[in-house]
Chain A
């Protein structure tokens, strides 16, 4: 019998790998794939505890997580296409229009 902690450890490792992808990759598509990996790790934890408790409720939650992940992928990829069309970039650090302007020279510098 495989102990519960093995499944939880596997889920933690997968979550960590997904986190590395989200933090270090610059291609928006790969970042989204890493997010899918993290969602899968969360699903694995739900199913492991569901099996340990003998309660099928965790399977229902995993079902909802899969539905939300599918919706997220559809909308996220549509945004990637729209961004690529409008400015030809799929790198997440090239799309920073919403970022706050950092005013290094004080408020008067930008007035002129």
Chain B
């Protein structure tokens, strides 16, 4: 069995992605979980580039690995709970049920992917997934959701300030 360059690239990003994602769940310290999540986001961006989603890959790095993770790290350090945040006396039964349930869901999804296993990838031009191509769709077909997103972000900013304020 020979592997093409694309398959090798996929595996180079996919295997660390699964490992770091598992690290998020396995880590006892939230700081280690956050660091694993940053690595997972970078690997995910690599997978996105492999799917010709150039704009979304850049957004993944900027918004997720940049803004969202800084927010997470900021809160972890702000609360500075130290050893209090470590997972102590884990509930074994709960963990077992959670893992079994997740395995069931993954099995269900994997079975569902067999329906589309034979579908070929479409031939796409060089401009597929670029800022120009996505922007054109975003500002014509998805204009209303796009504007609604700006409202959502405004509400989120106001909500975050109000909730985190000491006295309302």
- Using CB atoms and an 8 Å cutoff, list the residues of chain A in contact with chain B: 1-21, 23-27, 29-30, 32-34, 36-37, 40, 43-44, 47-48, 50-54, 56-57, 59-60, 62-64, 66-75, 77-82, 84-85, 90
Q: How far is the CA of A24 from the CA of B7 in the complex (A)?
A: 33
A-contacting residues, B98-115, CB 8 Å: 98-99, 101-103, 105-106, 109-110, 113-114
CB distance from A108 to the nearest CB of B (A): 33
Q: Known: A4-B121, A74-B157. Contact between A14 and B134, CB under 8 A?
A: no
B134 lies within 8 A of A60 (CB):
yes
- Decide if B33 touches A13 in the complex (CB within 8 Å): no
Report if A44-B24 is in contact (Cβ < 8 Å); known contacts: A5-B117, A16-B105, A81-B79: no
- Asked if A59 contacts B55 (CB within 8 A), the reply is yes
Give residues of chain B (118-168) contacting chain A, Cβ–Cβ below 8 Å.
119-124, 128-129, 133-134, 137-138, 141-142, 145-146, 149, 152-153, 155-157, 159-161, 163-164, 166
Residues of A contacting B39 in the complex (Cβ-Cβ under 8 angstroms): none
From B67, which residue of chain A is reached at the shortest CB distance?
A70
When distances are taken between beta carbons in the complex, the residues of chain B under 8 Å from A81 are 75, 78-79, 163-164
Q: What does DSSP make chain B's interface, helix, strand, loop or mixed?
A: helix
Complex: A64 Cα to B56 Cα, angstroms: 10
Known: A51-B124, A77-B71. A29 touches B76 (CB 8 A): yes
Per the bound structure, the CA–CA distance linking A11 and B103 in Å amounts to 13
Known contacts A10-B47, A14-B17, A37-B21; A52/B128 CB under 8 A: no
Q: Report the separation of the CA atoms of residues A25 and B149 in the bound assembly, to the nearest whole angstrom.
A: 30
Tell me the bound Cα distance from A12 to B52 in angstroms. 20
- Indicate if the CB atoms of A7 and B47 lie closer than 8 Å: yes
B116 to chain A, nearest CB (A): 6
Chain B residues contacting A50 (CB-CB under 8 Å) are 51, 53, 129
Give, as a whole number of angstroms, the nearest-CB distance from A86 to chain B: 10
B114 to chain A, nearest CB (A): 7
